[in-house]
Amino acid sequence: MLTLHDPTILTSFADAESSSPSPRKISLTDASRIIYTSRQLPHPRGGKNYGLPTLCDFSEARIGTVQKDSGPFVQPCIYRAPEVIFEMPWGTAVDIWGVAGVIWTLFEGQHLFGDVIFDPITGHHDPFRHLARMVAVIGEFPSPEFVRRSEMTRQCFDEGGNWIAHAEASIPDNISLETLERRLTGTEKELFLDFMRAMLKWMPEERSTAGELLGHEFLG
């Protein structure tokens, strides 16, 4: 999370919600659940900026290199790694995937896989939509070895890693990591995309480590 040097950010947010409440709807699958439209926080004023990032949620930390029975909810769905979605054993590489998502959000101003990963009717996370978007953004299908690591992968991919869940979601053919990145040009864009690709790998062990990322030319 980011610390705030401008306390008016929160008071302005509360005032805006009070004077003009966010649109909302009742969930079709759970009448006791109300879904609210997101409201963006205002930017700091008076020459101030956001403060330093603060590490939090240590109660959710896991000790050890491999986790096998922590359930599918170890990451926010917008930053969820593919091995977590498929309930495979996971380790520190999920944090590298999450870092890629956070960097993209901060740098591009939108989530890497977009709001399309949520069901438009229920508002719930839709893993089929999410995985279809992953294929488009990563630019390739998962390897047969990745598919063999969980029986759940067979809902989406055949033994060769090809997409088979056409009834649930279609792989968008008009997006890629290159087309989604709109702030940079030339060599700087190439380096940034290479930096992102180093973290966005289907196979966890193929993702760069934190130390390797620190030595990437994009940060040089």
Question: pLDDT tens digit string along 89-100?
Answer: 999 999 999 999
Note the pLDDT of residue 21: 93
Q: How far is residue 103's CA from residue 202's CA, in Å, rounded to a whole number? A: 18
pLDDT single digits (tens) 194-205: 999 999 999 999
The residues annotated as belonging to the active site are 6
Q: How many residues does the chain have?
A: 220
CA distances to 18, 81, 200 from 96, in Å: 38, 9, 8
From the centroid of its chain, how far is CA 64? 23
- Structure tokens that stand for 97 in this block: 């995937």
Note the pLDDT of residue 69: 62
pLDDT single digits (tens) 21-54: 999 999 888 888 899 998 888 888 877 788 888 8
Q: β-strands 34-36, 66-67: how paired?
A: unpaired
| Mean local confidence (pLDDT), 158-181 | 96
Please state the pTM of the whole predicted model: 0.75
**Pure H helices in the chain:** 8-19, 82-85, 93-108, 127-138, 144-147, 177-180, 186-197, 210-214
- Domains (ranges, CATH) in the chain? 2-53 (no CATH), 66-219 (1.10.510.10)
